[in-house]
Chain A
Amino acid sequence: QKEVEQNSGPLSVPEGAIASLNCTYSDRGSQSFFWYRQYSGKSPELIMFIYSNGDKEDGRFTAQLNKASQYVSLLIRDSQPSDSATYLCAVKGDSSYKLIFGSGTRLLVRP
């Protein structure tokens, strides 16, 4: 079992819709959770981080964390074609320094 799992996609949504990206992790000791966006041929760019159960909102983005279910998600409201990219979920343990990444979900926003 992979430590961090994501559906590879592609997830295709129409412009203006809500895109929901999901991630599960296996280590119950994980404490911090990060969403990175990666455009093709580019390096990962941090979108959001979350470490408390519940929702965290930043503009059009909402991260949701449920530690009991070992589940973290990213919602993108009013999706734009410029949001089309691969979204990487990353997890870090409390006493750890390295990020464990999922393989990413490719999002395609149709105009």
Chain B
Amino acid sequence: GAGVSQSPSNKVTEKGKDVELRCDPISGHTALYWYRQSLGQGLEFLIYFQGNSAPDKSGLPSDRFSAERTGGSVSTLTIQRTQQEDSAVYLCASSLVPMSGGPIDTQYFGPGTRLTVL
């Protein structure tokens, strides 16, 4: 079956513009996660969805960042008024069930969207 897909693969934008990043999880996966990876760094957790709700948004760096998920499937991460420090690879992952309370379920990552803010 298909893995996690993300679009666009690359996005170059000007400072101050808004961008939308899309994630399509593995079919049947109820949990969806957004991470950010800056150059040479590990992954930084941004937000987690269980179904369409986001129990934890604490990882979002500022109120310029928002995310939604519709139909328990596709998710969109929106960055408003982009800044140069937003430049990073944005990775989406999905898992079959929330990982709380169970070590067996694992997160599968998409190919990422490389965002460059000029």
Contact = CB atoms under 8 A, between A and B. Distances in A.
Contacts, number: 64
Contacts of B71: none
A96 B100 contact: yes
A71 B46 CA distance: 25
Interface of A: 4, 31-32, 34, 36, 42-46, 49, 51, 88, 90, 92, 94-104
Given A44-B91, A95-B100, 15 more contacts: A31-B103, A32-B99, A42-B111, A43-B91, A43-B112, A49-B104, A92-B103, A96-B99, A97-B31, A97-B98, A97-B99, A98-B99, A99-B33, A100-B45, A103-B42
11 contacts: A36-B109, A43-B110, A43-B111, A46-B106, A46-B108, A49-B106, A88-B43, A92-B103, A97-B55, A98-B33, A98-B59
